[in-house]
Structures are given as C-alpha cells and as structure tokens.
Amino acid sequence: MIIDIHGHYTTAPAALGDWRDRQVAALQDPALAPSPAELQISDDDLRESIEANQLRLMDERGIDLTVFSPRASFMAHHIGSFETSAEWAAICNELCYRVSRLYPERFVPAAMLPQSPGVDPATCLPELTRCVEENGAVALNLNPDPSGGHWTAPPLTDRYWYPIYEKMVEYDIPAMVHVSTSINPAFHTTGAHYLNADTTAVMQLIQGNLFADFPTLKLVIPHGGGAAPYHWGRFRGLAMALGKPALEEHLLDNVFFDTCVYHQPGIDLLLNVMPTKNILFASEMIGAVRDIDPGTGHNFDDTHRYIDAAGLNKADQAAIQELNARTVYPRLNALLKQQGR
C-alpha cells in the first residue's frame, strides 16, 4: 500500500474560514466573538470537500491512506492569545477527526497544537491528549516558530520544548516539524519560511544533543528536509567542527524526511543522499504548489510519479511508500493491523 504521511485539510468548507475571520475580528471587539457551536459544517459538507479534492487525487495517484492534519498556514499561532489558539486548534482538529470517521480506511488524523508565542508548551498537552486518546491521532505537527517568521522561540533542543517531547514519548507518536504563516515580509510563507524552518530544524538538532535525553523521539522534517539533503556535506562538516558524532549516529535514528519535493532531480538527490530508512512518502497535495508542471504535463505535487521513476528496487520502494511509515508511526501501524492491513 501507499501511505502519504503529509496531508493537510486545505479544502475545508468555506464556513471554517468565515468562523476564523469572526474569531480574529473579535480580538478587537470581543462582542463579535463567535462560539464554536455557531460553526455548522455537516457530514455532507465534509464529503463534498474531500471527495472532489483529496480523495479524487488519492484514487488517481494510487495513494491508499493519508495522515491528515489541519491546514498548516491556517494554524497561525501568532494570532491572539493561547485561548485563541486553543479554541481554533480544537475546531480544526475535530474536522480532521470527522473526516477520518467518514473515511476510516483513507484518512487518519494528526494533531495541530494550540501553540502561542512565549507561552509554555505544556499548555498544549490537554489538546494533544484529547486528540490522541479520543480522536486517535497518530502524530502531531510542531511549530518551531509560533511567532510567524520572527523566530522568538528557543531552539528545538531547548528544555522549553521538553513537555511536548515527554508526552510524545509516552504516546509513541512522532512530530512533523512544520511552521505556519509568515508575517515577516522578508519570508514568503511557503517558498521561504517553510524551507528555512526545515533547514533550521536540522541545524538546531545538529547543534544540540536532544536524542541523548529522548532516544526514542521521532521527528519528521517535511518538504524533503529543506536544504539538508542538498547541503549534507556542509552539515556533516559542521557536525565535525562542533565535536558531534557522525550524523548517522547523531540524527538518523530519530530524524526522518518526507518526499514533498516537486521535481524529479530533487527526489533523486534526496534518495541518493539519505538512507532509505529515513525517507517517508508524502505529497502535501493541494498545498503550496497546485499547478501542472508544463515540462511534464502532471501536477508538481504528484510525487508518486517521481518515486516510480527513480529506479528504486522493490524493497526500497516498499519501505519508502509504506513500511517506514509503519515504523515511525506506531499508532498508525496498530490501526492498520486492526483493519487487517
């Protein structure tokens, strides 16, 4: 089977965005604040949004299952207070959960955290617990920069983040390190901020020693790892200069990279540089890049085509498309076994 570990609900019904607009407006005028109960989205609304979009493309591209989380750019942790984010995260997570209930063999939820700049990450734990224990979330998205492009949070290796890591280890779930909207005009959200964050996360992990404290912690760096595969020699050399172990020992038992890379040479580079065990199939379909590549006649985000064309042997292709995800996402593997898959 083919498991896509990076999907976002980018096609949620318009009512969700309308509700969010009202919530944000209420930051200036609390009298405008909507209640969660005012958001009315039916199961038929969800089906319409999914069947014409993600599910259609999954069927066309041969993808069996997607790990499904709220739209990354909508997380917008920089807006309002922790209470703002908590209310918003709960609503967005619930919609992904409902999609997974409507299509239990095609979607499984991953949790958005109610992060807020300068707020103790421990405040995220109730929502994380709810998503795992009640909604069956198999992963979470961790934003290393809740400030929206100004990077006011400590590095990922700082003890500041440890409450989340401790809960991740307890639940045996991975985190995808994924930023949200950039409000810094110097950084385009999906073209710069996302890839900067991926690269920054890798370098922070090299500089620190996080996995000595959390030897079973698993982090997924999306978008192919940003610049990491392309500059792996630089990172290896910097690790040596910092007195760190070889990166195979220092990072690669705990850090994984997805295949959200939107051209064949980029995928080929990723596959040549990174060990097969560290690569997970993903597409982030209907995400940052939605157009058709005029050079191929296919969507840029149809990453399955790139994997098929990469010349992998059957064992490596099966590992990337399914088996590695089962290893990195143990709760997903358990769910699939329950379903007889």
Q: What is the pLDDT of residue 261?
A: 97
Residue 12, both tokens: 């949620």
Report residue 272 CA to chain centroid gap.
Answer: 23
Q: What is the pLDDT of residue 77?
A: 97
Average pLDDT over residues 262-270: 97
Give me the chain's average pLDDT, please: 97
Q: Which residues, 6 or more positions from 204, have their beta carbon under 8 angstroms from its beta carbon?
A: 144, 155, 156, 157
87 is catalytic: no
pLDDT at 287 over 90: no
Tens-digit pLDDT profile for residues 78-107: 999 999 999 999 999 999 999 999 999 999
The size of the chain, in residues, is 341
Q: Which residues, 6 or more positions from 207, have their beta carbon under 8 angstroms from its beta carbon?
A: 155, 157, 242
Asked whether the beta carbons of 270 and 259 are under 8 A apart, the reply is yes
Please pick, among 94, 127, 284, 322, the residue that the annotation labels catalytic. 284
Tens-digit pLDDT profile for residues 31-75: 889 999 999 999 999 999 999 999 999 999 999 999 999 999 999
Tens-digit pLDDT profile for residues 13-26: 999 999 999 999 99
Q: What is the pLDDT of residue 202?
A: 98
Tens-digit pLDDT profile for residues 102-157: 999 999 999 999 999 999 999 999 999 999 999 999 999 999 999 999 999 999 99
* 3-9: strand order across its sheet: 3-9, 65-70, 107-109
Average pLDDT over residues 149-176: 98
Task: Tell me the C-alpha distance between 131 and 98, whole Å.
Answer: 12
The phi and psi torsions of 211 (rounded to 5 degrees) equal: -80, -5
Tally of helices (H runs) and strands (E runs) in the chain? 16, 9
pLDDT at 285 over 90: yes
Element at 20 (helix H, strand E) = helix 14-25
Asked whether the beta carbons of 264 and 311 are under 8 A apart, the reply is no
Q: What is the pTM of this model?
A: 0.96
